Each structure stands twice: as structure tokens, then as C-alpha cells.
Amino acid sequence: MRRLFLPLIMLVIFISESIFVDLVHVPFSNNDQLFIPHFLMLAITFVTAYVNQSYGMIYGIVFGLLFDIIYTEVIGVYLFSFGLFAYLMSKALKILHGNVLIVLFLGLLSISVLEFYVYGIHLLIGTTTMSLYNFTTLRLLPTLALNLSAGILLIYPLKGFLTKLKIEQFDE
């Protein structure tokens, strides 16, 4: 039964992204700004940092495919990027200490690279006409601010849960 907790938590986080977009409106923003929640990418970052690399990559690939199927027109963009970022994050954490601030910084860095990657793909195939200036001011900066606040709220509860999960797996 305990083995189902992590997939269920990841599924709840995945669903909460779309619920957040529908229900929460930021009162101090204008209508042009886009606040894109990437709570799933933060959770994959935390799983990679506090459990292990293979779990992060597996959850990245599975939920990336699910994200592509449900939300995007181009299959493979998030599938490839979530798994790749989990792998790169695990390599960066071998060099850097797994401090909470470092993990949060790496999560925000992966979100910003993900946003630029998705923007580049859509610019390449011609599905967006947004300029780079508008992208950074109207989408990237509000997205990073939103995900920073979500990361600050989520990191300590998820860190505690994931470290317990890692200890339980080590005991088995």
C-alpha cells in the first residue's frame, strides 16, 4: 500500500496544475501575463533529489507522456524534457550539495530551460508569434515567480515524505 503513495501524490500534483489554472486568478497581475504552473516539474526535481535518479527519470517520462497526451498538440516535447531534466539534475546534484536551496534553484532552472525549450519548439513549428521580449516579460518571469512560491510551500513536506520513502526502500 505504501508503494502507491508516491504515484498518487504525483498524480494529484499533475491534476492540481490544471485545477490551479482554472480556479486561481492572481489579483495583482494584468490580463496579458501568463502564470504557468509547473508543479509537476518541481515534484520530479524533488523526487530526483531526495529518492534517486531512476525514480525521477521514470516519473518524468511517464508524466511527460501523460502531459503531452492531455495538454499539448505535439507529442514528445514534455516526454523528452521531463526525463532529460531529471537525468541532468541528478548529475548536477552529484557535484552540488543536495541542500534545499540548491534543489529549489535547480528546479527553477529546469523550469526556465523547459519554458525556453517549449517556446523554441513552438517558434520553430510556427504555432506562436510571441517575441522573445514578450515571452520573457509576460510568461517566463510570472511563471518563475509562481513556481518559486509553490516550491517554497512544497519543498519541506515533500522532502520529509520522500526521505521517509527512501529509508523504507533501503530497509526492504
Q: What is the pTM of this model?
A: 0.92
Whole-angstrom distance, CA of residue 38 vs CA of residue 40: 5
**What percent of the chain shows pLDDT beyond 70?**
97
Contacts of 63 (CB under 8 A, 6+ apart): 10, 14, 40, 44, 82
Does pLDDT of 172 surpass 70?
A: no
Q: What is the pLDDT of residue 1?
A: 60
Residues 69-107 have pLDDT tens digits of 998 878 889 999 999 999 999 999 999 887 899 999 999
When pLDDT is averaged across residues 18-42 and rounded to a whole number, the result is 87
Given pLDDT bands bounded at 50, 70 and 90, which one contains residue 30? confident
Given pLDDT bands bounded at 50, 70 and 90, which one contains residue 131? very high
